[in-house]
């Protein structure tokens, strides 16, 4: 009898898997994963839905009404009054959640951007879930293995003596942090009175210990959430998962303020802090925490996300991403980062610390491969690329990292004591760039996130000869600020006629085209191929003065180089665009 029961159970499991296999809704990697677990074990997965339910127009109006003032202003600046929200801003449809609730063991996180929920489920649930008409796809939730152990080192004497031989022209005593600030043009911005005031920055990290440190106890923290353990405390707590040292380093590099010791670029900015990674080696940092953290930051209206987390390799037995997957379209955290950018958020992310790749490959880790993500490499105090700094290009051929800043012996606050220490990693160069971006936005509050992205790249030290070590080079935020021309000024008056660089570029299949008109004009915005043939007219007619934005949907065109041509009142400007399929 016992043998018979075992046989029946075995056949039942086989039938469950066979039924799931008949459905294209269940991914191959999830099917492979469930074959390795018993009938009583659970596995984590993403369940994607077909749509956001009925009454979309009403739901969109409700979503727009719930935007915070900060979120509203950011979207107005980046997307325009007629496009403040879209379907990605709607919550997952409640009836769909109710429909799967009894089929899963636990709902972990709900993602409005992905229109999906991360869940824990048993293998026997796959057939029932696949049969639901509103379920679009069921996929494995990736489990990342990512070392977040960083060594606190004494500050080198060379940095302590960095003022020798230099004329002190700054109004602030940076102490040992002078080099990391001066290298990227920060003191000149500070001397003009810019300190990040009014800019809201979201930090996604492994946690934040020692927030009472005198170098960061001034920081204005508006909200915190621990997505790993599910509470508001982003510091270490007994019995909970993860170490919070890493976030202390990154926050203090960005926002520290202790004259004579440490000054961060944006020391007067406002912050929301999210713990989105478990650092313990016996457990994993999972992708849904990062996605949930980014959506939470968006809901608070952040202008900038600074993320010193990078993902590519996973636990033994899991399907890791490869260098070929770093193309901006595959890793889920990359997809989420690009969606964040489409909401008007400037996403700044460390490139990773994997060094020189094998020939023909790359060592960047997601989400730094995103085409709307500003990926940051690391240099030393002399401007030399750090040996550990990850290199590009992205798998689809884009320059990565985008820009660089100091990530070798970067001065920051200790997460353990009240001392000031030095830490290495692109994790530290990332917040320096994010802080510099905050100064740029404070100085020019009408800039869009992509304006800042392009300004920082186009004024960096290697802008004319970018490569996949430094990207476009070491940023110079002062030069970027001085380069703000043809962009709406603080009184919202455009001073120039200018066709801005398309973004993303290369792209597939859609890219954004923006231009400025200093006065009302009859214009034509058209696309030409390399043979001089006009393949599309995006607009022809009268346009008022100001900033205008169009989308080019090029799915019907072959891969290749195209020219975007703006004509107005006898003037003509051209930008290149590369379609890569």
Quick one: DSSP state of residue 385?
B
Please tell me whether residues 114 and 229 are part of one structural domain: no
Please tell me whether residues 290 and 369 are part of one structural domain: yes
- Does residue 147 lie in a domain region? no
SS3 of residue 527 by DSSP: strand
Higher pLDDT, 383 or 549: 383
Number of folded domains in the chain? 3
pLDDT > 60? residue 571: yes
Please tell me whether residues 345 and 422 are part of one structural domain: yes
Cα atoms in the 13 Å half-sphere on the side-chain side of 17: 17
pLDDT tens-place string over residues 227-270 = 988 999 999 888 777 778 999 999 999 999 999 999 999 999 99
Query: Phi/psi of residue 396, each to 5°?
Result: -100, 15
Last residue in a domain, options 482, 506, 541: 482
**For residue 43, what is the enclosing H or E element?**
strand 42-49
- Does residue 149 lie in a domain region? no
Which CATH number fits the domain that encloses residue 16? 3.30.70.80
pLDDT tens-place string over residues 135-176 = 999 998 877 655 555 788 888 988 876 554 444 456 799 999
CA 485 centroid distance within chain: 26
- Does residue 28 lie in a domain region? yes
Strands 143-144 and 257-258: unpaired
Mean pLDDT taken over the chain = 88
Which CATH number fits the domain that encloses residue 373? 3.40.50.200
% of the chain with per-residue pLDDT over 70: 89
| Alpha-carbon distance values, 405 to 179, 272, 278, 383, 458 (Å) | 11, 23, 26, 8, 15
pLDDT > 70? residue 58: yes
* CA–CA dist 359, 391 (Å, integer): 11
Please tell me whether residues 183 and 221 are part of one structural domain: yes
Please tell me whether residues 415 and 300 are part of one structural domain: yes
Measured at the CA of 105, the angle between CA 2 and CA 24, to 5 degrees, comes to: 90
Please tell me whether residues 204 and 263 are part of one structural domain: yes
Model pLDDT, residue 166: 45
CA 10 centroid distance within chain: 45
Please tell me whether residues 179 and 324 are part of one structural domain: yes
Handedness of CA 356, 357, 362, 367 (dihedral sign): negative
- Does residue 75 lie in a domain region? no
- Does residue 72 lie in a domain region? no
Handedness of CA 270, 452, 550, 446 (dihedral sign): positive
Token reading at 191 = 């001397």
Please tell me whether residues 440 and 527 are part of one structural domain: no
Please tell me whether residues 137 and 169 are part of one structural domain: no
Model pLDDT, residue 244: 81
Q: Tell me which residue of 47, 49, 51 sits closest to 125, measured CA to CA.
A: 47
Higher pLDDT, 222 or 144: 222
Instruction: Characterise 123 by phi-psi region: left (phi > 0), alpha (psi -120 to 50), beta (else).
Output: alpha
Residue 565 neighbours by CB distance under 10 Å: 16
**Stretch 283-297: mean pLDDT, rounded?**
85
**Going by C-beta distance under 8 Å and a sequence separation of 6 or more, which residues neighbour residue 252?**
213, 215, 216, 262, 264, 412, 413
- Does residue 200 lie in a domain region? yes
Please tell me whether residues 209 and 124 are part of one structural domain: no
- Does residue 284 lie in a domain region? yes
Please tell me whether residues 449 and 563 are part of one structural domain: no
**Going by C-beta distance under 8 Å and a sequence separation of 6 or more, which residues neighbour residue 157?**
none
Which residues span the domain enclosing 541? Answer: 498-579
- Does residue 188 lie in a domain region? yes
Token reading at 293 = 């953290």
Last residue in a domain, options 80, 111, 141: 141
Q: Tell me which residue of 274, 242, 253 sits closest to 413, measured CA to CA.
A: 253
pTM of the model: 0.81
Which CATH number fits the domain that encloses residue 517? 2.60.40.1930
Q: Tell me which residue of 507, 456, 505 sits closest to 484, measured CA to CA.
A: 456
**For residue 294, what is the enclosing H or E element?**
helix 287-299
pLDDT > 60? residue 303: yes
Please tell me whether residues 130 and 164 are part of one structural domain: no
């Amino acid at each position: 009898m016992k043998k018979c029961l075992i046989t029946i159970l075995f056949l039942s499991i086989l039938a469950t898997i066979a039924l799931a296999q008949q459905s294209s809704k269940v991914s191959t990697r999830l099917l492979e994963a469930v074959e390795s677990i018993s009938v009583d074990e659970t596995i984590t997965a993403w369940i994607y839905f077909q749509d956001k339910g009925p009454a979309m127009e009403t739901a969109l109006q409700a979503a727009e009404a719930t935007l915070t003032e900060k979120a509203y202003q950011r979207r107005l600046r980046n997307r325009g009054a007629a496009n403040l929200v879209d379907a990605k801003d709607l919550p997952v449809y409640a009836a769909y959640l109710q429909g799967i609730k009894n089929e899963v063991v636990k709902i972990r996180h709900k993602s409005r951007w992905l229109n999906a929920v991360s869940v824990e489920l048993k293998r026997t649930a796959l057939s029932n879930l696949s049969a639901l008409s509103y379920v679009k796809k069921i996929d494995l939730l990736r489990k990342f293995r990512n070392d977040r152990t960083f060594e606190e080192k004494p500050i080198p004497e060379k940095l302590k003596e960095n003022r020798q031989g230099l004329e002190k022209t700054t109004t602030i005593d940076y102490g040992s942090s002078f080099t990391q600030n001066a290298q990227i043009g920060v003191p000149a911005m500070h001397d003009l009175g810019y300190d990040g005031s009014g800019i809201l920055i979201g930090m996604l990290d492994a946690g934040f210990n020692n927030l009472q440190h005198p170098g960061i106890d001034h920081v204005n923290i508006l909200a915190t959430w621990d997505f790993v353990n599910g509470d508001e405390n982003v510091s270490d707590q007994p019995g909970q998962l993860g170490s919070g040292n890493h976030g202390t380093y990154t926050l203090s590099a960005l926002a520290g303020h202790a004259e004579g010791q440490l000054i961060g670029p944006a020391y007067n900015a406002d912050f929301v802090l999210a713990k989105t990674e478990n650092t313990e080696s016996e457990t994993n940092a999972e992708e849904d925490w990062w996605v949930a953290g980014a959506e939470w930051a968006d809901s608070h209206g952040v202008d900038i996300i600074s993320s010193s987390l990078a993902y590519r390799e996973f636990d033994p037995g899991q399907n890791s991403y490869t260098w070929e997957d770093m193309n901006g379209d595959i890793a889920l955290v990359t997809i989420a980062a690009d969606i964040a950018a489409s909401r008007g958020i400037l996403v700044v992310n460390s490139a990773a610390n994997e060094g020189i790749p094998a020939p023909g490959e790359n060592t960047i880790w997601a989400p730094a491969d995103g085409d709307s993500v500003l990926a940051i490499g690391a240099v030393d105090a002399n401007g030399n690329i750090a040996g550990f700094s990850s290199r590009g290009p992205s798998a689809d051929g884009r320059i990565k990292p985008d820009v660089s800043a100091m990530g070798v012996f970067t001065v920051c606050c200790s997460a353990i004591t009240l001392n000031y220490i030095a830490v290495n990693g692109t994790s530290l160069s990332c917040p320096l760039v994010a802080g510099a971006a905050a100064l740029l936005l404070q100085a020019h509050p009408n800039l869009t996130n992509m304006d800042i992205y392009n300004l920082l790249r186009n004024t960096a030290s290697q802008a004319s000869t970018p490569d996949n070590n430094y990207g476009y080079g070491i940023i110079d935020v002062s030069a970027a600020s001085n380069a703000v021309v043809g962009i709406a000024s603080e009184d919202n008056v455009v001073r120039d006629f200018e066709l801005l660089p398309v973004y993303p570029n290369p792209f597939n299949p859609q890219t954004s085209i923006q231009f400025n008109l200093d006065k009302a004009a009859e214009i034509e915005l058209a696309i030409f191929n390399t043979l001089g043939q006009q393949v599309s007219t995006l607009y022809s007619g009268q346009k008022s003065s100001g900033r205008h934005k169009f989308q080019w949907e090029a799915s019907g065109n072959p891969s290749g180089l195209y020219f975007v041509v703006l004509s107005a009142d006898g003037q003509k400007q051209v930008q290149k665009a590369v379609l890569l399929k």
